[in-house]
Structure 1
Amino acid sequence: MIADQNEKDTREFAERLERFHTAMYYILGRETQKISPSNRVTIYVVRSSSDVRKLAGDKSGFLQGFYQARAGGSVAFTARVESNGADVSQSEQVLFHEYAHHVMHSTNQWSTPRWLSEGFAEFFSTARFEKNGGVGLGLPANHRAAELALAKDVPIQALLDASAYKKPKKGAYDEFYGRSWLLYHYLLLSGKRPRQLINYQVALANGAAELDAANTAFGDLNQLEKEMNAYLAQRRLKYIPIPDEKLKVGAITVRKMRDAEAAMMPVILVSKRGVNADTAKALLPQAQSIARSYPNDPFVLAALAEAEHDAGNYAVALQTADKALAADPASINAHVQKIYALSQLAVNSDDPDTTWKLVRRAVAALNRVEVEHPIPLIYFYRSLKLAGKDITEIAAHGLERALQLAPYDKNVRWELTQQLVAEEKYAIAYRILLPLANDPHTRSDDNPAIKLLAQIKQKLEQEPRA
């Protein structure tokens, strides 16, 4: 976590986030494992929600935090966090919501309908931190009370079918988040519909459309909606208390940023958020100016290399990354930027074989620093693919491992599917591609994953039966 706030608040929230993380994994029935640094989500805490909206390019006035998933660089942005005793503050709740998204995407290989993704995140965002060290999860979403009572209705059919849901125009507000929380809470804790949520997810994993999966698992949707409304009207709702002895929290280390790091942080925030050609060129002079004040700082140089790469100055980015690595051979971002810059140079090189070999050397160098970093696995595969070389077994397995490390990365999933198709491993390819074809954000006829899935299905039907 990188936070623009005092040490006391930063430490306190880091401790609460560790307890929250452990409690989530306990509820999900998963062992907490040591995660390689680059496969964790980096949380950026900025001064205000208006800064969050500026980073996101959001003009709604509602956004208070957001999350972006990508291999080797998942990030979340939120406003300053203020802890509020046992109950979570609004800023904590937003961050817990975004963190829950990261946990869901990290532990789930399958596509997730929008209602389920948001209902899951809302369910876990309403945590309680007890004085005895325990954590309560799944408390009532009181922050959604007004929404559920007053905002525009979202019928159950629209809630469960992304293609039927018509999001209100900008500035309007409906009860989608509230109803998503309500449905998830009801299915999980009411005791009225045991295993139906699991059956629903299994149906989705087997390729059922969203509404078909809902009808199969839940039956009469109008009846489900009536039950949800009655559930909401109850005076008390269950939640899940987790005692302290079930939570294992490690030591928390907090340090003040060096002047060079703090100076470059505004550039890093924009870079990690993501830039286009225009914003990258606008950002570069700021990065260059800061680097002139700290010409030998590896952190600053790595960030400058990223800004140069984003602006299309690949040779300069390579030189800058090398300078950063000379100052700090363990700089992860400098290694990554070197791989990126070399790959771009190789694509346009008069001697691509030589440059792709340099890419593979850079890949090996980063792999030695962090074995479980997905970028070397991805770019070793790409270095062979783009060079027109045969894909080795090591490269193919490396791409599979990259998807295991970052199951939320859509580009890696697409590349692995194509590789499996080339190897005529159609059954595995079908399973890997399914989340992209069922992605609620891209459910349209021009989604290439839907077309490829149909082709793979045809191949499977043509295979001789045992």
Structure 2
Amino acid sequence: MRLKDQWRAALIVLAVLLCAASPASAEWRRAETAGFIVYSDGDAGVLRDNALQLELFESSLRLLHGADPAARAPRKLAIYLVGDRRSLGQVWPGIPETIAGFYRPSEDGVFAIAVRERGSLDTLLHEYAHHFMMGSSGSGYPGWFIEGYAEYFMTADLSPRRVAIGDFNKGRADWLQYGRWLPMADIVTNRPSQYGDGNAVAMYYAQAWLLTHWLMSDPTRTRQMLNYFSRLRAGESSTAALEAATGMAMAEIDRALKVYVRGRVPMKSFSAEQFPVPQVTVTTLSPGEDSLLLLNLRLSNVSNDEDQRAILLSEVRNRAAAFPNDPFAQRLLARAEIRMGDRQAGETIVRDLVEAKPDDTESLLLLAESIMTARDDEEVDHMTAMGEARRYLARAYALDDTDFRTLSMLSTTRNGAPGFPNDNDMETLLAAVEFAPQIPSIRLSTAQAHAARGEYDRAIAMLEPMASNPHGDRGSAIARTLIGSYRSRQGGETSPAAESAPAPASE
């Protein structure tokens, strides 16, 4: 073994030992409502209250956007509330110190995780506002509005009797009062990731919140905001579109905002008693799930770094070994082996799980994934493998026809087949997008299928939310490149679907 490899192996062993030596965490509980599955290793009563507040927040957002407050998305959002940033680091090793929570749409599912804040849900509500926007809008918005929208709603005051929306966050207010403002032309043009300075990032968020608040606090300005979005989709630059929509130069908007922030902040408020009281069911987890819950998230969030993947695989193997009869632990082990280790060993585990419980959707999907990802050197016939995978996917679909993973994988088994994508393929892909519009890879696959059929306007509309995501730098860049390519092929036409996208309702 080369010296470099010896050092690498030693570091992996050390990392695993350090993880194993970490003190045991408190007991995890799960609170389930109509729209959420909330996990917390904190107080059970606080967990129940948080779940109720999330349901109230969802109803409030729907009411303000002109939707049925009692309706819920087909799939529940998983949320994880942790006690400190060290727990965040178990899911995202090396997470920046300034981050207190994050939202992650992945091919395994969508989740949000945040540090519990005493007396505040700001971080969690910010992340959920992103989820709601991406789930309810068929089009993209500029980066400043995506962040400003989340900042606007995250300060919601959610009490059993009354809801108030639009208050300021003290930290953001302090930056607006004492910080050095960035030019508003930069705010409406740039993304937060373009700023390397933490102070500039903080100012970006504060000014994005203020501009959003100013536009959404007045019916006339809200109509101007909608006009601005239409102009953006017609190809105008952000500054030109905002100036034309408001009838004000950027310097005038800057002055108006500085006057606005010194006044009384207008808020929307309404009775919470108009909404039905949600049902909340709180349960404890199995020993294996309790021990490996965050490690399971980390597997869905793992980077392509070879050393990090080796560390994660070793840790999963070591910790899952303590729970040989726990389905959650064994399924996690199988998934880690299939993706990063011994695929055949992982498939053996998951086949045993399917045999023990034939109606378990998670195991059926994992078995199909293993069959579909057989290595080239395993001498597996591609068409035979895809046919076998489809049989397990059909069983999973019969159990739950709203699971986007099943639909996405069914489409993958057809990719490259004669006639792909036909009308049925498109229905499958569009159903996957309907159930998980937040997941970039599904949007990308669907857009490429549209383009393969010459449906460039639909492909562009599918990619626009990806292209405008202020945090999805790589995915955003891919989406923008494809949009440019598709527009050149269609002669520069703009998508009608994008122009009719919904926006927040004004008072």
Q: TM-score, normalised by structure 2?
A: 0.81
> Which residue matches 1:287?
316
Change (3 A) 1:204 1:321: farther
User: Which residue, out of 368, 374, 385, partners 1:345?
Assistant: 374
User: Which residue, out of 21, 29, 32, partners 2:58?
Assistant: 21
SS at match of 2:168: coil
> Which residue matches 2:74?
36
Q: What is the one-letter code of the residue matched to 2:425?
A: A
Aligned: 1:400 with 2:430 = yes
SS at match of 1:371: coil
CA shift, 1:95, in A, is 0.7
Change (3 A) 1:281 1:164: closer
Q: What is the one-letter code of the residue matched to 2:62?
A: Y
CA shift, 1:216, in A, is 3.3
> Which residue matches 1:359?
389
CA shift, 1:242, in A, is 2.1
Q: What is the one-letter code of the residue matched to 1:378?
A: S
* Bigger Cα displacement from structure 2, 396-405 vs 56-65: 56-65
> Which residue matches 1:200?
228
User: Which residue, out of 108, 120, 125, partners 2:137?
Assistant: 108
Aligned: 1:9 with 2:46 = yes
> Which residue matches 1:55?
91
SS at match of 2:197: coil
Structure 1: unaligned runs, 5 residues or longer:
none
SS at match of 1:416: helix
Q: What is the one-letter code of the residue matched to 1:64?
A: A
Aligned: 1:121 with 2:121 = no
CA shift, 1:66, in A, is 0.7
Aligned: 1:154 with 2:190 = no
* Bigger Cα displacement from structure 2, 367-376 vs 427-436: 427-436
Q: What is the one-letter code of the residue matched to 1:375?
A: R
Aligned: 1:267 with 2:305 = no
User: Which residue, out of 251, 262, 275, partners 2:279?
Assistant: 251
Change (3 A) 1:447 1:80: closer
Q: Verify the 8 A CA contact 1:148 1:179 in the aligned structure 2.
A: yes
Cα deviation 1:368-419 (Å, max 9, x = unaligned): 1211111121111111114566434222211111122222222222222221
SS at match of 2:114: strand
Q: What is the one-letter code of the residue matched to 1:135?
A: V
CA shift, 1:75, in A, is 1.1
Q: TM-score, normalised by structure 1?
A: 0.88
Change (3 A) 1:322 1:134: farther
CA shift, 1:80, in A, is 2.7
Change (3 A) 1:52 1:289: closer
* Bigger Cα displacement from structure 2, 331-340 vs 218-227: 331-340
> Which residue matches 1:391?
421
SS at match of 2:374: helix
Change (3 A) 1:15 1:386: same
SS at match of 1:45: strand
- CA–CA separation in structure 1 for the residues paired with 2:80 and 2:191: 33
Change (3 A) 1:59 1:81: closer
Counting only pairs closer than 5 Å after superposition, residues 203-352 of structure 1 correspond to structure 2 as: 203-219=231-247, 220-234=249-263, 236-276=264-304, 277-345=306-374, 349-352=379-382
Over aligned residue pairs, what C-alpha RMSD do you find? 2.8
User: Which residue, out of 77, 84, 102, partners 2:113?
Assistant: 77
User: Which residue, out of 152, 160, 166, partners 1:138?
Assistant: 166
SS at match of 1:69: strand
Number of aligned residue pairs: 451
Q: Verify the 8 A CA contact 1:298 1:323 in the aligned structure 2.
A: no
Higher relative contact order by CA 8 Å / sep ≥ 6: 1 or 2?
2
CA shift, 1:443, in A, is 8.1
- CA–CA separation in structure 2 for the residues paired with 1:81 and 1:441: 23
Structure 2: unaligned runs, 5 residues or longer:
1-37, 494-507
Q: Verify the 8 A CA contact 1:110 1:434 in the aligned structure 2.
A: yes
Aligned: 1:178 with 2:206 = yes
- CA–CA separation in structure 2 for the residues paired with 1:384 and 1:404: 19
Cα deviation 1:112-149 (Å, max 9, x = unaligned): 32211111111111111335x22111112223122212
- CA–CA separation in structure 2 for the residues paired with 1:436 and 1:13: 30
- CA–CA separation in structure 2 for the residues paired with 1:193 and 1:270: 43
SS at match of 1:323: helix
Q: Verify the 8 A CA contact 1:159 1:165 in the aligned structure 2.
A: no
CA shift, 1:96, in A, is 0.8
SS at match of 2:185: helix
- CA–CA separation in structure 1 for the residues paired with 2:52 and 2:424: 40
Q: Verify the 8 A CA contact 1:75 1:272 in the aligned structure 2.
A: no
- CA–CA separation in structure 2 for the residues paired with 1:262 and 1:384: 37
Q: Verify the 8 A CA contact 2:239 2:250 in the aligned structure 1.
A: no
SS at match of 1:18: helix
CA shift, 1:35, in A, is 2.9
Q: Percent identity?
A: 24
- CA–CA separation in structure 2 for the residues paired with 1:241 and 1:107: 22
CA shift, 1:208, in A, is 4.0
> Which residue matches 2:104?
68
Change (3 A) 1:461 1:210: same
Change (3 A) 1:409 1:25: same
CA shift, 1:47, in A, is 1.9
- CA–CA separation in structure 1 for the residues paired with 2:309 and 2:413: 25
SS at match of 1:43: strand
Change (3 A) 1:10 1:224: same
- CA–CA separation in structure 2 for the residues paired with 1:75 and 1:223: 40
- CA–CA separation in structure 1 for the residues paired with 2:345 and 2:429: 29
